[in-house]
Amino acid sequence: MTIEAGRPRVLRALTALLLTTAVATVVVEILNYWYAPAHGFGFAVRTGWALLRTLGWLLLIRQVRRDRAVARPLGLILAVTTVFAVGRLLVPRSGLPPLPGVLGFAVLFLLCVTVVVLLYRHPVVRRHLVRHPNRLVLTREGLSVREAVPRRAPVTGWLLTARISAFTYSPLMLVPSLISFGELRDRPEWLLAVLFWLGSGIAVSYAVLLCTFFLLRGKPAARRALSWLTLTVLVWDLPLCYFLLGVDGLVRDGAPLLAAGMLTWYALHRAGRAPADASAHDRMT
């Protein structure tokens, strides 16, 4: 009997569901590209970013098969951002979206909702997804690779959710900034702003890394810093989306970042309310 065959049936079904969702993401993207009336530079960048999300689903499958606790927040972030990434390519600038694309998006939406429900509401899944990453450990027998259980108090699932959600800020800023380069032919005076936008998208990744490093170690100041960083990112990015890409860019590129920011704030709020001695799977209810 293989290891996968010996696992609970719901976990094997979840693995198959995740693989189906990854395939559905690619199929819907192909449909959107096939029926799109125009294939400009911005459309190509958004499509490429959406297709890269397929790698995230494959990573999630790996985490689920290893019973990692990080699988749950990672699945939530992937589900939310995939719906936004695919949905913003479905609606054309004018007219109605094609029927095959709408049907494909509806199927993908149901798959993402089902993934989140299984990850967060099914008791068997919640009971199994609790393991920590393996690390090189020095013991009396020598060096060995073992599960590295943290010595400090266990990290809540909501803190992991806030961490992963915040890490999406940088790519969600880089996508519209790259698209804006294609708009500079008509407005070259915005070149400096676009360059700052691109640089800030890279800098945010380091700021998030620093905040979340202390966040997972229970520092209250890190929670406040990440909240203010989220506000700063939204105040900086959303106006640029509007002025450089118009209302269409604000909806297509600003809305996913706003959703990630709201999720980060909510996760930080829930993490602050969780009792200090509760386990991770008890807090994610």
How do residues 65-105 score in pLDDT, each as one tens digit?
888 888 888 899 889 888 887 777 676 666 677 787 788 88
User: At residue 118, does pLDDT exceed 50?
Assistant: yes
Residue of higher predicted confidence among 280 and 261? 261
How do residues 153-169 score in pLDDT, each as one tens digit?
455 678 888 888 999 99
Name the burial class of residue 42, with classes exposed (0-12), middle (13-18) and buried (19+) by CB atoms within 10 angstroms of its CB.
Answer: buried
Q: 35, 100 in Cβ contact below 8 A?
A: yes
Give the Cα separation of 164 and 180 in Å (integer).
26
User: At residue 244, does pLDDT exceed 90?
Assistant: no
% of residues, the chain, pLDDT over 90? 25
The total of other beta-carbon atoms located within 10 Å of residue 194's CB is: 20
Q: The dihedral of CA 242, 248, 249, 252: what is its sign?
A: positive
Q: Indicate the pLDDT class of residue 185, thresholds 50, 70 and 90.
A: confident
Chain mean pLDDT for the chain: 81
Global pTM? 0.74
Specify the pLDDT at position 60. Answer: 92
Domain ranges of the chain: 1-149, 152-285
User: At residue 253, does pLDDT exceed 60?
Assistant: yes
Facing residues of 139 across strands? 142
How do residues 11-22 score in pLDDT, each as one tens digit?
999 999 999 999
Q: Indicate the pLDDT class of residue 246, thresholds 50, 70 and 90.
A: confident
Mean pLDDT within 248-273: 86
Out of 131-135, 161-165, 267-271, least confident range: 131-135
Specify the pLDDT at position 281. Answer: 40
Q: 115, 21 in Cβ contact below 8 A?
A: yes
